[in-house]
Amino acid sequence: MMGLMRQSLRFGAVGVVNTAIGLTAIYALMFFFGVGPALANAIGYTIGLAVSFVLNRIWTFGDSRSIAKALPLYILVAVISYLLNLSVVLLGTHHFGVGPYLVQFFGIGVYTMSMFLGCRWFVFQAQKHSNAPLKP
């Protein structure tokens, strides 16, 4: 249980760091380089995702496999998590009448939880316990 708690806290800290770095990149691209909001957003999110991958791989989950093996799985989990987030936002606003600002919190929660579980059980956990059954 301590391992899960430690990983959860580290995952949250990495989330704060990658959000700060990604948002800084977005603002810097727009302010200093005149990049449009959509492109700046895409680049900033890509930078944040890269920071998140590196920090979670090394610090949160202690994965030592090559980047070439873990990165595609990480990207897959991130895409699935984003689609789950988007589904919550769209269902919440269009079918359940939840306000668009409030529903974003639910979407973020779903994204964060699915990303953490996907990383723990699918992306990084497989390497650490390759000879043992996966533990939730």
The packing angle between helices 67-94 and 100-118, to 10°, is 150
Q: What is the mean pLDDT of residues 36-61?
A: 96
What per-residue confidence (pLDDT) applies to 135?
Answer: 45
| Residue whose structure tokens are 């668009």 | 100
Mean pLDDT of 49-63: 96
Q: Report the pLDDT averaged over residues 21-48.
A: 96
Return the percentage of the chain with pLDDT > 90, whole number. Answer: 86
Phi, psi of 129 (to 5 degrees): -130, 50
pLDDT at 131: 42
Confidence of residue 134 (pLDDT cuts 50, 70, 90): very low
- Predicted confidence band of residue 1 (pLDDT cuts 50, 70, 90): low
Q: How many residues does the chain have?
A: 136
The pLDDT of 90-108, averaged and rounded, is 94
Higher pLDDT, 126 or 25: 25
Which are the contacts of 114, defined by CB distance < 8 A and separation ≥ 6?
77, 80, 81, 84
63 half-sphere exposure, CB direction, 13 A CA radius: 27
Task: Answer with the residue of higher pLDDT: 132 or 26.
Answer: 26
CB contact at 8 A, 75 and 104:
no
